[in-house]
Amino acid sequence: MGRVQGVGFRYFVWREAEALGVDGWVRNRADGTVEALARGTTEELDRLRDRIQEGPRWSRVMSVSVTDEADQDVAQGFEIRRDEA
Q: What is the pTM of this model?
A: 0.83
Closest CA to 13 of 43, 53, 41: 53
Top pLDDT among 82 and 7 is at 82
Determine the Cα–Cα distance for residues 29 and 8; give it in Å rounded to an integer.
14
- Give me the pLDDT at residue 1, please: 47
DSSP H helical ranges for the chain: 9-20, 42-54
DSSP strand pairing (78-80 vs 23-28): parallel
Asked if pLDDT for residue 85 goes beyond 70, the answer is no
Determine the Cα–Cα distance for residues 61 and 1; give it in Å rounded to an integer.
9
Q: So which residues are the catalytic ones? A: 10, 28
Report, as an integer, the average pLDDT of 63-73. Answer: 78
All structural domains of the chain: 2-80 (3.30.70.100)
Chain segment 20-67, per-residue pLDDT in tens = 999 999 998 888 888 899 999 999 999 999 999 998 887 788 888 888
